[in-house]
Structure 1
Protein backbone atom coordinates (compact mmCIF):
# COMPACT_ATOMS: atom_id res chain seq x y z
CA UNK A 1 0.00 0.00 0.00
CA UNK A 2 2.80 2.44 0.91
CA UNK A 3 4.47 1.85 -2.45
CA UNK A 4 1.25 2.70 -4.31
CA UNK A 5 0.85 5.94 -2.33
CA UNK A 6 4.38 7.03 -3.21
CA UNK A 7 3.87 6.02 -6.86
CA UNK A 8 0.75 8.20 -7.02
CA UNK A 9 2.57 11.11 -5.42
CA UNK A 10 5.41 10.86 -7.91
CA UNK A 11 2.97 10.84 -10.81
CA UNK A 12 1.22 13.95 -9.48
CA UNK A 13 4.52 15.83 -9.11
CA UNK A 14 5.58 14.88 -12.65
CA UNK A 15 2.23 16.01 -14.02
CA UNK A 16 2.54 19.30 -12.15
CA UNK A 17 5.97 19.88 -13.68
CA UNK A 18 4.68 19.14 -17.20
CA UNK A 19 1.76 21.53 -16.73
CA UNK A 20 3.45 24.35 -14.79
CA UNK A 21 7.22 24.00 -15.23
CA UNK A 22 9.54 24.55 -12.26
CA UNK A 23 8.71 28.17 -11.48
CA UNK A 24 6.16 27.34 -8.80
CA UNK A 25 8.23 24.53 -7.26
CA UNK A 26 10.07 25.01 -3.98
CA UNK A 27 13.71 23.93 -3.82
CA UNK A 28 12.98 20.68 -2.02
CA UNK A 29 10.30 19.83 -4.59
CA UNK A 30 12.73 20.35 -7.47
CA UNK A 31 15.25 18.08 -5.80
CA UNK A 32 12.55 15.54 -4.99
CA UNK A 33 11.53 15.40 -8.66
CA UNK A 34 15.13 14.94 -9.75
CA UNK A 35 15.65 12.14 -7.25
CA UNK A 36 12.73 10.19 -8.73
CA UNK A 37 15.00 9.16 -11.59
CA UNK A 38 17.73 7.58 -9.49
CA UNK A 39 16.09 6.58 -6.20
CA UNK A 40 13.37 3.93 -6.38
CA UNK A 41 12.76 2.43 -2.94
CA UNK A 42 13.03 5.50 -0.74
CA UNK A 43 10.96 8.52 0.26
CA UNK A 44 12.54 11.19 -1.95
CA UNK A 45 10.68 14.01 -0.19
CA UNK A 46 12.39 13.22 3.10
CA UNK A 47 15.70 12.65 1.34
CA UNK A 48 15.43 16.00 -0.47
CA UNK A 49 14.88 17.82 2.82
CA UNK A 50 17.81 15.99 4.40
CA UNK A 51 20.17 16.86 1.53
CA UNK A 52 19.16 20.52 1.52
CA UNK A 53 19.63 20.70 5.27
CA UNK A 54 23.12 19.20 4.88
CA UNK A 55 24.23 21.82 2.32
CA UNK A 56 22.06 24.75 3.31
CA UNK A 57 20.87 25.69 -0.18
CA UNK A 58 20.05 23.99 -3.47
CA UNK A 59 22.74 26.15 -5.06
CA UNK A 60 25.47 24.79 -2.80
CA UNK A 61 24.26 21.21 -3.20
CA UNK A 62 24.28 21.36 -7.00
CA UNK A 63 27.81 22.76 -7.03
CA UNK A 64 29.23 20.12 -4.68
CA UNK A 65 31.50 17.30 -5.84
CA UNK A 66 29.70 13.95 -6.34
CA UNK A 67 31.90 12.13 -3.83
CA UNK A 68 31.23 14.82 -1.24
CA UNK A 69 27.47 14.53 -1.84
CA UNK A 70 27.60 10.73 -1.59
CA UNK A 71 29.56 10.87 1.65
CA UNK A 72 27.63 13.61 3.40
CA UNK A 73 24.14 12.63 2.29
CA UNK A 74 24.58 8.84 2.42
CA UNK A 75 23.43 8.35 -1.17
CA UNK A 76 24.88 6.28 -4.00
CA UNK A 77 27.52 7.73 -6.29
CA UNK A 78 25.02 7.39 -9.16
CA UNK A 79 22.57 9.64 -7.31
CA UNK A 80 25.30 12.12 -6.41
CA UNK A 81 26.56 12.18 -10.00
CA UNK A 82 23.10 12.92 -11.40
CA UNK A 83 22.75 15.89 -9.05
CA UNK A 84 26.23 17.18 -9.90
CA UNK A 85 25.48 16.99 -13.63
CA UNK A 86 22.86 19.74 -13.39
CA UNK A 87 25.20 22.74 -13.28
CA UNK A 88 27.67 21.71 -16.04
CA UNK A 89 24.70 20.65 -18.18
CA UNK A 90 23.12 24.09 -17.70
CA UNK A 91 26.48 25.69 -18.59
CA UNK A 92 26.67 23.61 -21.79
CA UNK A 93 23.10 24.64 -22.63
CA UNK A 94 23.78 28.35 -22.15
CA UNK A 95 27.00 28.19 -24.13
CA UNK A 96 25.25 26.28 -26.91
CA UNK A 97 22.72 29.09 -27.37
CA UNK A 98 25.53 31.22 -28.80
CA UNK A 99 25.92 28.86 -31.74
CA UNK A 100 29.07 27.29 -33.07
CA UNK A 101 31.16 30.41 -33.75
CA UNK A 102 29.63 33.54 -32.23
CA UNK A 103 30.92 36.99 -33.14
CA UNK A 104 32.33 38.87 -30.14
CA UNK A 105 32.79 42.34 -31.55
CA UNK A 106 32.03 44.32 -28.39
CA UNK A 107 32.85 44.20 -24.70
CA UNK A 108 29.17 43.62 -23.98
CA UNK A 109 29.08 40.48 -26.13
CA UNK A 110 32.41 39.32 -24.72
CA UNK A 111 31.13 39.74 -21.17
CA UNK A 112 27.86 37.96 -21.86
CA UNK A 113 29.69 35.09 -23.56
CA UNK A 114 32.24 34.82 -20.75
CA UNK A 115 29.49 34.51 -18.15
CA UNK A 116 28.28 31.32 -19.84
CA UNK A 117 31.78 29.84 -19.51
CA UNK A 118 31.85 30.36 -15.74
CA UNK A 119 28.26 29.53 -14.81
CA UNK A 120 28.33 27.31 -11.74
CA UNK A 121 32.12 27.20 -11.38
CA UNK A 122 33.04 27.48 -7.72
CA UNK A 123 36.80 27.60 -8.33
CA UNK A 124 38.73 30.25 -10.19
CA UNK A 125 39.36 29.40 -13.82
CA UNK A 126 41.10 31.17 -16.70
CA UNK A 127 40.04 31.06 -20.36
CA UNK A 128 41.69 32.24 -23.54
CA UNK A 129 38.96 32.98 -26.08
CA UNK A 130 40.59 32.74 -29.51
CA UNK A 131 39.05 34.91 -32.24
CA UNK A 132 39.57 34.95 -36.00
CA UNK A 133 40.02 38.12 -38.07
CA UNK A 134 36.23 38.64 -38.09
CA UNK A 135 35.99 38.38 -34.28
CA UNK A 136 34.35 34.96 -34.49
CA UNK A 137 35.21 32.47 -31.75
CA UNK A 138 37.58 29.78 -32.98
CA UNK A 139 37.81 28.19 -29.56
CA UNK A 140 37.37 29.04 -25.87
CA UNK A 141 40.22 27.23 -24.14
CA UNK A 142 40.31 26.54 -20.41
CA UNK A 143 44.01 27.11 -19.80
CA UNK A 144 44.20 27.22 -16.02
CA UNK A 145 42.26 26.44 -12.84
CA UNK A 146 43.17 28.02 -9.51
CA UNK A 147 43.83 31.56 -8.39
CA UNK A 148 46.34 33.67 -10.27
CA UNK A 149 48.22 34.34 -7.04
CA UNK A 150 48.62 30.67 -6.22
CA UNK A 151 49.59 29.34 -9.65
CA UNK A 152 50.43 31.93 -12.32
CA UNK A 153 48.98 31.64 -15.78
CA UNK A 154 52.03 31.08 -17.94
CA UNK A 155 52.19 33.30 -21.04
CA UNK A 156 53.80 30.44 -22.97
CA UNK A 157 50.67 28.35 -22.48
CA UNK A 158 48.49 31.18 -23.76
CA UNK A 159 50.76 31.62 -26.79
CA UNK A 160 50.60 27.90 -27.57
CA UNK A 161 46.82 27.98 -27.24
CA UNK A 162 46.46 31.01 -29.52
CA UNK A 163 48.68 29.46 -32.19
CA UNK A 164 46.96 26.08 -31.99
CA UNK A 165 43.56 27.66 -32.57
CA UNK A 166 44.75 30.11 -35.24
CA UNK A 167 43.81 33.21 -33.26
CA UNK A 168 44.03 36.66 -34.81
CA UNK A 169 43.19 38.13 -31.42
CA UNK A 170 42.44 36.87 -27.93
CA UNK A 171 40.01 37.77 -25.17
CA UNK A 172 41.21 36.72 -21.72
CA UNK A 173 38.57 35.79 -19.15
CA UNK A 174 38.60 34.57 -15.58
CA UNK A 175 36.21 34.50 -12.67
CA UNK A 176 36.20 35.78 -9.12
CA UNK A 177 34.08 33.25 -7.16
CA UNK A 178 34.29 35.54 -4.12
CA UNK A 179 32.15 38.11 -5.91
CA UNK A 180 34.49 41.08 -6.39
CA UNK A 181 34.59 42.61 -9.88
CA UNK A 182 37.58 44.80 -9.13
CA UNK A 183 40.74 43.74 -11.00
CA UNK A 184 43.48 42.79 -8.56
CA UNK A 185 47.14 43.74 -8.92
CA UNK A 186 47.79 40.12 -9.95
CA UNK A 187 45.05 40.34 -12.60
CA UNK A 188 46.65 43.41 -14.15
CA UNK A 189 50.19 42.04 -13.97
CA UNK A 190 49.32 38.74 -15.62
CA UNK A 191 47.44 40.62 -18.34
CA UNK A 192 50.59 42.66 -19.06
CA UNK A 193 52.72 39.52 -19.34
CA UNK A 194 50.26 37.78 -21.65
CA UNK A 195 49.81 40.95 -23.72
CA UNK A 196 53.58 41.20 -24.24
CA UNK A 197 53.93 37.52 -25.11
CA UNK A 198 51.14 37.60 -27.69
CA UNK A 199 52.25 40.93 -29.13
CA UNK A 200 55.61 39.33 -29.97
CA UNK A 201 53.80 37.01 -32.39
CA UNK A 202 51.42 39.72 -33.69
CA UNK A 203 48.32 38.59 -31.80
CA UNK A 204 46.38 41.25 -29.91
CA UNK A 205 44.75 40.93 -26.51
CA UNK A 206 41.56 42.89 -27.10
CA UNK A 207 39.96 42.49 -23.67
CA UNK A 208 40.15 40.77 -20.30
CA UNK A 209 36.80 39.93 -18.75
CA UNK A 210 36.35 39.27 -15.04
CA UNK A 211 33.15 37.42 -14.13
CA UNK A 212 31.57 37.40 -10.69
CA UNK A 213 28.20 35.66 -10.54
CA UNK A 214 25.83 37.31 -13.00
CA UNK A 215 28.04 40.34 -13.51
CA UNK A 216 31.27 41.10 -15.31
CA UNK A 217 33.81 43.86 -15.78
CA UNK A 218 35.82 44.58 -18.90
CA UNK A 219 39.42 45.78 -19.00
CA UNK A 220 38.72 47.37 -22.39
CA UNK A 221 35.75 49.34 -21.08
CA UNK A 222 37.82 50.57 -18.15
CA UNK A 223 40.66 51.67 -20.43
CA UNK A 224 43.06 49.14 -18.90
CA UNK A 225 43.84 47.38 -22.19
CA UNK A 226 44.68 50.71 -23.83
CA UNK A 227 46.83 51.63 -20.85
CA UNK A 228 48.72 48.32 -21.08
CA UNK A 229 49.16 48.72 -24.84
CA UNK A 230 50.89 52.09 -24.34
CA UNK A 231 53.55 50.35 -22.25
CA UNK A 232 54.77 48.26 -25.19
Structure 2
Protein backbone atom coordinates (compact mmCIF):
# COMPACT_ATOMS: atom_id res chain seq x y z
CA UNK A 1 0.00 0.00 0.00
CA UNK A 2 1.28 3.44 -0.87
CA UNK A 3 1.49 6.56 1.24
CA UNK A 4 -1.81 7.89 -0.12
CA UNK A 5 -3.61 4.66 0.73
CA UNK A 6 -2.23 4.67 4.27
CA UNK A 7 -3.30 8.28 4.73
CA UNK A 8 -6.79 7.46 3.47
CA UNK A 9 -7.10 4.58 5.96
CA UNK A 10 -6.09 6.90 8.82
CA UNK A 11 -8.68 9.45 7.72
CA UNK A 12 -11.42 6.80 7.50
CA UNK A 13 -10.59 5.60 11.02
CA UNK A 14 -10.60 9.16 12.39
CA UNK A 15 -13.88 9.98 10.62
CA UNK A 16 -15.47 6.79 11.97
CA UNK A 17 -14.33 7.66 15.51
CA UNK A 18 -15.78 11.17 15.14
CA UNK A 19 -19.11 9.81 13.88
CA UNK A 20 -19.34 7.30 16.74
CA UNK A 21 -18.56 10.00 19.32
CA UNK A 22 -21.19 12.35 17.91
CA UNK A 23 -23.77 9.58 17.88
CA UNK A 24 -23.08 8.73 21.55
CA UNK A 25 -22.94 12.33 22.79
CA UNK A 26 -26.47 13.61 22.33
CA UNK A 27 -27.02 15.44 25.67
CA UNK A 28 -27.22 12.34 27.80
CA UNK A 29 -27.35 11.99 31.54
CA UNK A 30 -24.48 9.61 32.29
CA UNK A 31 -25.78 8.18 35.55
CA UNK A 32 -25.07 4.50 34.97
CA UNK A 33 -21.97 2.47 34.24
CA UNK A 34 -23.52 1.33 30.96
CA UNK A 35 -24.15 4.89 29.79
CA UNK A 36 -20.65 6.03 30.78
CA UNK A 37 -19.12 3.04 29.01
CA UNK A 38 -21.19 3.62 25.87
CA UNK A 39 -20.21 7.30 25.90
CA UNK A 40 -16.49 6.62 26.37
CA UNK A 41 -15.90 3.52 24.22
CA UNK A 42 -16.08 5.29 20.81
CA UNK A 43 -13.29 7.67 21.86
CA UNK A 44 -10.84 4.79 21.69
CA UNK A 45 -11.99 3.37 18.34
CA UNK A 46 -9.07 2.51 16.09
CA UNK A 47 -6.36 3.63 18.52
CA UNK A 48 -3.25 1.45 18.48
CA UNK A 49 -1.62 3.00 21.54
CA UNK A 50 -2.96 3.47 25.04
CA UNK A 51 -4.74 6.74 25.69
CA UNK A 52 -6.09 8.21 28.92
CA UNK A 53 -9.36 10.13 28.83
CA UNK A 54 -11.14 12.17 31.50
CA UNK A 55 -14.90 12.63 31.39
CA UNK A 56 -16.00 15.52 33.61
CA UNK A 57 -19.58 15.55 34.88
CA UNK A 58 -21.77 18.12 36.60
CA UNK A 59 -23.90 17.44 39.69
CA UNK A 60 -26.64 15.94 37.49
CA UNK A 61 -24.21 13.57 35.73
CA UNK A 62 -24.32 15.53 32.49
CA UNK A 63 -21.05 15.72 30.57
CA UNK A 64 -19.21 19.01 30.85
CA UNK A 65 -16.12 17.97 28.91
CA UNK A 66 -14.36 14.84 27.74
CA UNK A 67 -10.78 14.88 26.56
CA UNK A 68 -7.87 12.55 25.93
CA UNK A 69 -5.19 13.91 28.24
CA UNK A 70 -2.35 11.51 27.60
CA UNK A 71 -0.89 8.96 25.24
CA UNK A 72 1.35 6.00 25.78
CA UNK A 73 2.70 2.97 24.01
CA UNK A 74 0.93 -0.23 23.06
CA UNK A 75 0.79 -1.37 26.69
CA UNK A 76 1.25 1.68 28.94
CA UNK A 77 0.00 5.22 29.27
CA UNK A 78 0.36 7.80 31.96
CA UNK A 79 -0.98 11.23 32.70
CA UNK A 80 0.21 13.43 35.53
CA UNK A 81 -2.48 13.58 38.22
CA UNK A 82 -2.11 17.35 38.27
CA UNK A 83 -3.20 17.55 34.60
CA UNK A 84 -6.42 15.63 35.33
CA UNK A 85 -7.18 17.71 38.44
CA UNK A 86 -6.57 20.97 36.56
CA UNK A 87 -8.81 19.83 33.70
CA UNK A 88 -11.64 18.90 36.09
CA UNK A 89 -11.31 22.21 37.95
CA UNK A 90 -11.26 24.19 34.69
CA UNK A 91 -14.75 22.95 33.75
CA UNK A 92 -16.17 23.06 37.31
CA UNK A 93 -16.73 19.30 37.43
CA UNK A 94 -18.27 17.68 40.48
CA UNK A 95 -17.16 14.22 39.40
CA UNK A 96 -14.80 12.57 36.93
CA UNK A 97 -14.88 9.24 35.16
CA UNK A 98 -11.39 8.24 34.06
CA UNK A 99 -11.01 5.89 31.11
CA UNK A 100 -8.16 4.33 29.24
CA UNK A 101 -7.80 1.62 26.66
CA UNK A 102 -5.95 -1.68 26.44
CA UNK A 103 -5.50 -1.87 22.66
CA UNK A 104 -3.67 -5.18 22.64
CA UNK A 105 -5.35 -7.01 25.47
CA UNK A 106 -8.33 -7.61 27.68
CA UNK A 107 -10.24 -4.85 29.45
CA UNK A 108 -9.08 -5.83 32.93
CA UNK A 109 -7.28 -3.51 35.38
CA UNK A 110 -3.62 -4.06 36.16
CA UNK A 111 -2.07 -3.40 39.56
CA UNK A 112 -0.69 -0.15 38.12
CA UNK A 113 -4.23 0.83 37.02
CA UNK A 114 -5.56 0.19 40.53
CA UNK A 115 -2.76 2.15 42.22
CA UNK A 116 -3.14 5.10 39.83
CA UNK A 117 -6.90 5.15 40.41
CA UNK A 118 -6.46 5.36 44.18
CA UNK A 119 -3.89 8.17 43.88
CA UNK A 120 -6.15 10.14 41.53
CA UNK A 121 -9.17 9.62 43.79
CA UNK A 122 -7.24 11.06 46.74
CA UNK A 123 -6.04 14.07 44.71
CA UNK A 124 -9.50 14.86 43.34
CA UNK A 125 -11.10 14.42 46.75
CA UNK A 126 -8.70 17.04 48.14
CA UNK A 127 -10.30 19.64 45.83
CA UNK A 128 -13.89 18.48 46.30
CA UNK A 129 -14.25 16.38 43.15
CA UNK A 130 -15.27 12.73 43.19
CA UNK A 131 -13.59 10.11 41.02
CA UNK A 132 -16.78 8.22 40.15
CA UNK A 133 -15.18 5.39 38.18
CA UNK A 134 -12.25 4.21 36.09
CA UNK A 135 -13.34 2.43 32.93
CA UNK A 136 -11.00 0.27 30.88
CA UNK A 137 -11.82 -0.20 27.20
CA UNK A 138 -10.63 -2.92 24.83
CA UNK A 139 -12.14 -3.09 21.36
CA UNK A 140 -15.88 -2.59 21.93
CA UNK A 141 -15.82 -4.02 25.47
CA UNK A 142 -15.31 -2.16 28.72
CA UNK A 143 -14.88 -2.92 32.41
CA UNK A 144 -15.87 -0.57 35.21
CA UNK A 145 -13.47 -0.74 38.14
CA UNK A 146 -16.25 0.51 40.44
CA UNK A 147 -18.85 -2.02 39.25
CA UNK A 148 -16.34 -4.87 39.48
CA UNK A 149 -15.44 -3.91 43.07
CA UNK A 150 -11.81 -3.11 42.30
CA UNK A 151 -12.37 0.57 43.11
CA UNK A 152 -14.76 1.93 45.73
CA UNK A 153 -15.71 5.53 44.92
CA UNK A 154 -16.60 7.92 47.72
CA UNK A 155 -20.34 8.10 48.34
CA UNK A 156 -22.12 10.89 46.54
CA UNK A 157 -25.78 11.35 45.64
CA UNK A 158 -25.08 11.95 41.94
CA UNK A 159 -22.61 9.31 40.85
CA UNK A 160 -22.89 7.04 37.84
CA UNK A 161 -23.98 3.60 39.05
TM-score band w.r.t. shorter chain: 0.7 to 0.9
Q: State the match for 2:134 in structure 1.
A: 208
Query: Which of the numbers 116, 120, 125 marks the counterpart of 1:194?
Result: 120
Take 2:119 and 2:143, find their aligned partners in 1: how far apart are those partners?
Answer: 20
* Higher Cα radius of gyration: 1
Give secondary structure in 2 for the equivalent of 1:224. coil
For the pair 1:154 / 2:80, whether they are aligned, the reply is: yes
8 Å contact kept, 2:29–2:62: yes
1:132 pairs with one of 55, 58, 66 = 58
Higher helix proportion: 1
Secondary structure at the residue paired with 1:97? Answer: helix
Deviating more after overlay: 146-155 vs 206-215: 146-155
Alpha-carbon separation, structure 2, partners of 1:152 and 1:189: 12
The TM-score, its normalising length taken from structure 1, stands at 0.62
Matched, 1:177 2:80: no
Contact 2:52 2:77 in 1 (8 A): no
Paired residues in the alignment total 155
SS of the aligned residue for 1:130 comes to strand
8 Å contact from structure 1 (residues 149, 186) kept in 2: no
Measure how far apart 1:143 and its partner are.
0.8
Higher relative contact order (CA 8 A, sep 6+): 2
Unaligned runs of 5+ residues in structure 2 are: 156-161
Structure 1: which 4+ aligned runs deviate by more than 4 Å? 147-151
C-alpha distance in structure 2 between counterparts of 1:189 and 1:144, whole Å: 17
Confirm or deny: 8 A CA contact 1:170 1:205 kept in the other structure. yes
Q: What is the TM-score with the length of structure 2 in the denominator?
A: 0.88
What CA distance in whole angstroms lies between the structure 2 residues aligned with 1:125 and 1:161?
Answer: 16
Per-residue CA shift, 1:55-103, capped at 9, x if unaligned? xxxxxxxxxxxxxxxxxx3x354x4322210111101101101235322
